[in-house]
Amino acid sequence: MKDLTITSVAVPHGMMPAVAYRIDSTAGSIVISGDSSGYHPPLVELARGADLLVHDMALPERPTEHGHLHAKPSDVGRTAADAGATRLLLSHVMPELEPERDEAERIVREHFDGRVEWAHDLMRIVL
């Protein structure tokens, strides 16, 4: 596709490699965080000014068994805010987060005042 640029950056995810991607086109820009284990300045830079940031929201703010592998809601909110993203789409929800989704979103919104949505299967995104 003409006028399509894809950029990537490695993001921390414990011992497992992970990559974030930015897709820029004439329609706008989307950044997909991949699995990221916290606030990561290179991800913030990749997402700078993005129309949409898709960020994993796997676990709650409290300590959990796999908490070292995924960003906490406060990290996700700070990433979106510091990047100046317009919209934030929360994805990769794990069972531990399900009963605490409202609290997780409240924490995200303490840091990010843009549009926040939760991803679901077969969701269609329009920029």
- Tell me if 123 is assigned to some domain: no
Q: What is the CATH number of the domain that holds 29?
A: 3.60.15.10
Range of the domain at 70: 5-118
Residues 48 and 81: their CA atoms lie apart, in Å, by 9
Model confidence pLDDT, tens digit, residues 11-50: 999 888 899 999 999 999 999 999 999 999 999 999 999 9
Model confidence pLDDT, tens digit, residues 48-63: 999 999 999 999 999 9
The total number of structural domains in the chain stands at: 1
- Tell me if 80 is assigned to some domain: yes
- Tell me if 124 is assigned to some domain: no
pLDDT over 70 at 119, yes or no: yes
- Mapped onto helix, strand or coil, the DSSP state of residue 8 is strand
Residues 76 and 52: their CA atoms lie apart, in Å, by 13
pTM of the model: 0.95
